Chain A
Amino acid sequence: MATASNKKTKQETINGAEILTEALVQQGVDLVFAYPGGASMPLHQALRKYRDQIRTILPRHEQGGGFAAQGIARATGEVGVCFATSGPGATNLVTALADAKLDSIPIVAITGQVPQHVIGTDAFQETPMVEISRSITKHHYMITDINDVARIVKEAFFVAKTGRPGPVLIDFPKDVQIAQLDKKPDYDPDMNLPGYHPEQRQVAREQIAQIVAAVKRSKRPVLYVGGGCVLSDSSEELLKFAELTKIPVTTTAMGIGAFPGTHPQSLDMLGMHGTVYANNAINEADLLIALGVRFDDRVTGKLDEFAKHGKIIHVDIDHSEIHKNKEAHLPVVADVKHVLESINEMITPDDVPDIKDWLKQISEWKKKHPLSYKDTGDEIIQQYAIDELYRQTVKQDPYVAVGVGQHQMWSAQFFKFQKPRHWFSSSGLGTMGFGLPTAMGVQAALPDALVIDIEGDGSFQMNIQELATLFCENLPVKVLLLNNQHLGMVVQWEDRFMSGKRAHTYLGPVDHPEALGDGDGSMPAESYPDFTKIAQGYGLEAAQVRKKSEYPKAIKKMLASKKPYVLDVICSYQEHVLPMIPSGGTYRDIITE
């Protein structure tokens, strides 16, 4: 560690926190979310100093900062950055890190740590953050030497965004933050990552030829497309391949937007709440082309029965995904984009299979089992609310974040996305409270875009404090709050599998008959809490709407506002997300009414 030498005439020195901040600038970072505390104050002093280069936004909870960093990353493809102090600040980031790991989102989280001489003594606000984050990050560092700061930042960004992206944690003890270096740091040092080799593997021509041959032979092919297509920016290549071959495309929750949602070849989402036609197609397929997916249980249901009639081509950049859940007949470890490019180069009109009968079958399924919802008079149901929002905003190319639960699945079903990186959902971890802070990050990264957060009243309250950030930082996110006074998805499971017995799924006062499911089912005269008042208290514009006849106008008014806005939409709680394949079931178990 360097100490200032005053032998010579005044020497320029720089401290560890400033080196880290400069290193972020060198990585192209111009926006971070950071919540200060005792062990991270030098970092905040450095961020203050660098405020012309980096906009630092103060979230109201570290978890909000973590998801906001995800918002930046999910919307732009660049690494999102968040800061927290040691101890509780750092542990508050844990959920956002785990979420980023499961959805492969590149973020770098920087946590203050107590000075090294007290590490291990149960010091005030000390937690072993590296230990805690091992299994929920792609990689993690503790900086123990000021000479390592620039290298570690460079490595962290490299690891976060290359290969299969993921979160990286840098734990930064306070004594290294304030240590002084009396020479100019090298911001582009050699990396020391002998065990990390994300370099693109060349896809063997032979493998591409095998894929093309399999496509040519197929009679009932399906493309099963996931987050890997979004992360690798391969939508264009996917569209080209799909349109050439006419192969229908179904996406996972992470893959939404990778293929245009209104395209005639789109089968929409598959899996537990996927469409009948997507799940039928998967089951009957003789060739499943799985691109950037991981055969998650919410997609496959019973693994043995999933796509059991077809050959499986599985392309993924992460070789541990190959054969993990489902044996692939033709495994390809590579970037989806490169594979699609190679296929598009090789494939000729001769290789295009004749699948007319298959497409006819699929369009019959589509006609017979379309995504739909019933007309409920003047009552607002969530599906309608989302559908109407979609109709009113589709031309503005909106960015939509969601919480977790029924409203998330309905948004996945009824909001059609034409482009990737416009739909933000905590799909792997399923974190309630994801929507608002993620939308906040997206809005900060894309100030001119229309950013919408579709929420349930359960999810919304898990990070509601970020309304303050929206107001104070002029982030005009539009919150569509689908308020049914219940934890709707759990209620749905109670209705389907537990004879409707309510167990802590009612969000109003506990002495209300609805708490045990003994109410009359009508929408409450007064909802709890008063979200418009809360939003107004934070300085936002807000309104409540209960009648379908008034809903389109209410949406219009929200969209016309230049400010952050909460529209509290009172919905019924009796609606179920359909179709539904019960956990561990097969396409045959699908519930459609």
Chain B
Amino acid sequence: MKHILSALVMNQPGVLSHISGMLGSRAFNIESLAVGATDNPEFSRMTFVVNGDARVLDQVRKQLEKIVTVVRVLDFQGKDFVERDLMLIKISTEGGKRSEIHGLVDIFRGSIVDVSPDHVMVEIAGKENKIDAFVDIIRPFGILEMVRTGRIAMLRDHVLMADLSSPQESIEEAHTKKTVRKKTTA
């Protein structure tokens, strides 16, 4: 079973290495791990997709929390959250299939971010199954190259804050971000 864990960590050298080392040495099965900056330069945010039963998940969470540079860990299990993967994919346009590909990209609400004589690069964001579906449908055209980010996720109604004393579990201010659809273009 897949679970999503989200962690605020101190933005210091070695934190990622520490965490991945701990996960590896305790033989936890991590499907994806995404790291990035937050609005506060002191902290980074990590999103983990963990494979395993409730007991494994419980241990992963507790072992993460034990690392001194890990500030907060939240388990998204049973909570209302938005999750996204982002993919860049280079698709062959040989045989005059460019407009057909364009049509599919529109259906999946992706966008073409680069065009070459014999291929296009497409950016597509969404839930994992949507991206998987796009990959399946586009495969016959010829995938030249693809790259995916790990999962990122955010709770709809709560804010994950560094300060334990703040009632972060009940803060309702973040509810406005109902849709996080990006409209990036090249």
CB pair A131 B68 closer than 8 Å: no
CA distance A335 to B18 in the complex (A): 27
CB pair B14 A323 closer than 8 Å: no
CB pair B63 A194 closer than 8 Å: no
CA distance A138 to B63 in the complex (A): 12
Q: Which of chain A's residues has its CB closest to B26's CB?
A: A135
CB pair B163 A194 closer than 8 Å: yes
Q: Among the listed stretches B54-62, B88-96, B152-160, which one makes contact with chain A, having 4 or more residues with CB under 8 Å of it?
A: B54-62
Known: A193-B68, A194-B71. A131 touches B55 (CB 8 A): no
Q: Which of the four size classes fits the interface of chain A?
A: 10 to 19
CB pair A134 B21 closer than 8 Å: yes
CB pair A323 B18 closer than 8 Å: no
Q: Is A159 an interface residue (CB 8 A)?
A: yes
Chain A positions 118 through 158: 1 when the CB is less than 8 Å from some CB of chain B, otherwise 0: 00000000000011001100110000000000000000000
Chain A positions 87 through 121: 1 when the CB is less than 8 Å from some CB of chain B, otherwise 0: 00000000000000000000000000000000000
CB pair B25 A135 closer than 8 Å: yes
Q: Is A324 an interface residue (CB 8 A)?
A: yes
A-B contacts, CB under 8 A, total? 42
CA distance A194 to B62 in the complex (A): 16
Chain B positions 42 through 76: 1 when the CB is less than 8 Å from some CB of chain A, otherwise 0: 10000000000001001100110111111110000
Contact of B9 (CB < 8 Å), options: A138, A195, A318, A320: A195
CB pair A320 B59 closer than 8 Å: yes
CB pair A131 B70 closer than 8 Å: no
Contact of A195 (CB < 8 Å), options: B10, B14, B22: B10
Q: Is A196 an interface residue (CB 8 A)?
A: yes
Chain B positions 136 through 166: 1 when the CB is less than 8 Å from some CB of chain A, otherwise 0: 0000000000000000000000000011100
Known: A134-B18, A195-B9. A323 touches B55 (CB 8 A): yes
Q: Is A197 an interface residue (CB 8 A)?
A: yes
Q: Is A391 an interface residue (CB 8 A)?
A: no
Q: Which of chain A's residues has its CB closest to B18's CB?
A: A134
Q: Is A319 an interface residue (CB 8 A)?
A: yes
Chain A contacts for B71, CB-based, 8 A: 194-195
CB pair A135 B17 closer than 8 Å: no
CB pair B66 A318 closer than 8 Å: yes
- Cβ of B68 to closest chain A Cβ, rounded Å: 4
Chain A positions 315 through 341: 1 when the CB is less than 8 Å from some CB of chain B, otherwise 0: 000111001100000000000000000
Chain A contacts for B10, CB-based, 8 A: 194-195
Can you offer 27 A-B residue contacts whose CB atoms are under 8 A?
A: A130-B14, A131-B17, A134-B14, A134-B21, A135-B21, A135-B22, A135-B25, A138-B68, A139-B68, A159-B68, A194-B162, A195-B10, A195-B67, A195-B68, A195-B69, A195-B70, A197-B164, A318-B66, A319-B62, A319-B65, A320-B62, A320-B63, A320-B65, A323-B55, A323-B58, A323-B59, A324-B59
Q: Which of chain B's residues has its CB closest to A322's CB?
A: B62
Known: A195-B70, A195-B71. A131 touches B62 (CB 8 A): no
Q: Which of chain A's residues has its CB closest to B54's CB?
A: A323
Chain B positions 1 through 37: 1 when the CB is less than 8 Å from some CB of chain A, otherwise 0: 0000000011000100110011001000000000000
Known: A138-B68, A194-B71, A195-B71. A131 touches B14 (CB 8 A): yes
Chain A contacts for B18, CB-based, 8 A: 134
